[in-house]
Amino acid sequence: MPALNSKKFAFIGAGKMGETLIKGILASSEVKNEQIVATARHEKRLGQLRERLKISTTLNNIEAAESADVVLLCVKPQAAAGILAELQSVLKPNQVVISIVASVTTGLIEDKLLNKVPVVRAMPNTPSLVGAGMTAICGGKFSEKRHVTLTENIFNLIGRTIVLDENYFDSVTGLSASGPAFIYIIIESLAEGGVKAGLPRDVATELAAQTCLGAAKMVIDTQEHPAVLKDNVTTPAGCTIDGILKLEEGGLRVTLIKAIVEAAKRAKSLIND
Ligand SMILES: NC(=O)c1ccc[n+]([C@@H]2O[C@H](COP(=O)([O-])OP(=O)(O)OC[C@H]3O[C@@H](n4cnc5c(N)ncnc54)[C@H](OP(=O)(O)O)[C@@H]3O)[C@@H](O)[C@H]2O)c1
């Protein structure tokens, strides 16, 4: 495993997701604060990052990128072209660029850079902050297995990883990157149900959240099909089947399927904004 404690990391455009990744990586203790430099567009943002994360910061992307072994591109899709133009001759084949930018392909990044720089694409999600992230990873045409492994090692510090063909990335963005927002709405709604059924709100929210966590862990740990696990909870003529009937009446499945499909469709077009 490529050692992370000997690498220097530059987070280019450390906004919400960049900060989440830095926090998660620091929490693992594999990487020290001194190994990280972060950039942003405004000095005010850099001040927040220094105060919260105790890392060095600069407004100068070139300086940050030059000093790093691993350059993490964390800007919005619309800002990516400008940053890549700025860094086109700075980034070298002995570095690796890891991009978490939605909608921007490894090919697009490689084309903008003047050197044959290894590029790896990663699509994480915000539960990375609490060590429960899900990150899809794919290597570009100049990346080797060791670059993909290095990226897996970084994102394994903050959750699970999966190496996937890049063709799947817009779908991944719609499912696991946008997904936490959908699940929060589900948790909020389950809690509302609990309140309607007479529970105090804080109790209802805790019950709803832990139930989602437990159900997700059952799917992952047992590797059973979710339908089998659902059937196991559903006693004939019991209360669960009455609840399921209401879910089906309300079109929960179709609504969730459409939500993922729409988010994935949008992921494809972000670059054109
Ligand atoms: N949020 C998610 O759940 C999630 C999940 C997976 C992937 N992503 C991807 O992560 C990326 C960032 O999303 P986000 O939510 O973190 O956005 P964000 O909070 O807006 O962060 C973007 C950061 O980029 C900085 N920036 C903009 N232009 C710059 C420049 N020219 N030089 C240096 N820094 C620059 C901004 O600095 P200032 O703050 O100073 O303006 C800001 O801090 C997106 O591409 C998104 O697709 C997000």
| CB 135, CB 124: distance < 8 Å | yes
How confident is the model at residue 28, as a pLDDT? 84
Note the pLDDT tens digit of each residue in 113-137: 999 999 999 999 999 989 999 999 9
Residues 147 and 96 in one domain: yes
Task: Tell which atom from ligand 1 comes closest to the C-alpha of 20.
Answer: 16
* Residue 1 forms part of a structural domain: no
Residues 50 and 126 in one domain: yes
Task: Tell which atom from ligand 1 comes closest to the C-alpha of 40.
Answer: 34
DSSP string, 215-255: HHHHHHHH---HHHHHHHH--TTSHHHHHHHHHHHTTHHHH
The pLDDT of residue 2 is above 80:
no
* Residue 77 forms part of a structural domain: yes
Which of 118, 140, 172 finishes a domain?
Answer: 172
Distance of alpha carbon 167 from alpha carbon 245, whole angstroms: 36
Residues 121 and 211 in one domain: no
* Residue 20 forms part of a structural domain: yes
| CB 142, CB 93: distance < 8 Å | yes
How confident is the model at residue 81, as a pLDDT? 94
pLDDT tier for residue 1 given thresholds of 50, 70 and 90: very low
**For 57-83, what is the mean pLDDT?**
96
Least trusted range by pLDDT, from 23-27, 108-112, 255-259: 23-27
Residues 51 and 121 in one domain: yes
Output the CA 163–ligand 1 centroid distance in Å. 23
Residues 164 and 192 in one domain: no
* Residue 238 forms part of a structural domain: yes
How confident is the model at residue 29, as a pLDDT? 84
* Residue 42 forms part of a structural domain: yes
* Residue 2 forms part of a structural domain: no
Residues 159 and 31 in one domain: yes
How many domains, the chain?
Answer: 2
235: domain CATH number? 1.10.3730.10
How confident is the model at residue 3, as a pLDDT? 81
Output the CA 12–ligand 1 centroid distance in Å. 9
Which of 12, 16, 78, 269 most suits a substitution to test ligand 1, by most atoms within 8 Å of the C-beta?
16
Average pLDDT, the chain: 96
Which of 172, 203, 238 finishes a domain?
Answer: 172
Q: Which domain, by its residues, includes 251?
A: 179-272
How confident is the model at residue 30, as a pLDDT? 87
Note the pLDDT tens digit of each residue in 100-113: 999 999 999 999 99
Output the CA 228–ligand 1 centroid distance in Å. 40
Residues 162 and 31 in one domain: yes
Which of 154, 172, 190 finishes a domain?
Answer: 172
Residues 97 and 151 in one domain: yes
48: domain CATH number? 3.40.50.720
Output the CA 106–ligand 1 centroid distance in Å. 18
Distance of alpha carbon 51 from alpha carbon 249, whole angstroms: 50
Query: Which residues contact ligand 1 via a Cβ below 6 A?
Result: 12-18, 39-42, 45, 61, 74-77, 79, 82-83, 100-102, 123-126, 177
What b/e readout covers 32-46, taking b as 16+ CB neighbours within 10 angstroms?
A: eeebbbbbbeeeebb
Residues 130 and 191 in one domain: no
* Residue 3 forms part of a structural domain: no
Question: In whole angstroms, what separates CA 97 from the centre of its chain?
Answer: 16
Query: What is the three-class DSSP state of 160?
Result: strand
DSSP state of 141: T
* Residue 240 forms part of a structural domain: yes
The pLDDT of residue 213 is above 50:
yes
How many percent of the chain have pLDDT more than 90? 93
Task: Tell which atom from ligand 1 comes closest to the C-alpha of 177.
Answer: 5
Q: Which residues of 45-189 form beta strands (DSSP E)?
A: 56-58, 70-73, 96-99, 119-123, 133-139, 159-163
Residues 23 and 71 in one domain: yes
Residues 85 and 186 in one domain: no
The pLDDT of residue 177 is above 90:
yes
Task: Tell which atom from ligand 1 comes closest to the C-alpha of 41.
Answer: 40
Residues 43 and 161 in one domain: yes
pTM of the predicted model as reported, rounded to 2 decimal places? 0.94
Nearest to 123 by CA among 181, 79, 176: 176
Output the CA 101–ligand 1 centroid distance in Å. 8
How confident is the model at residue 269, as a pLDDT? 84
pLDDT tier for residue 239 given thresholds of 50, 70 and 90: very high
How many percent of the chain have pLDDT more than 70? 99
Output the CA 233–ligand 1 centroid distance in Å. 42
**For 28-48, what is the mean pLDDT?**
95
Distance of alpha carbon 98 from alpha carbon 95, whole angstroms: 10
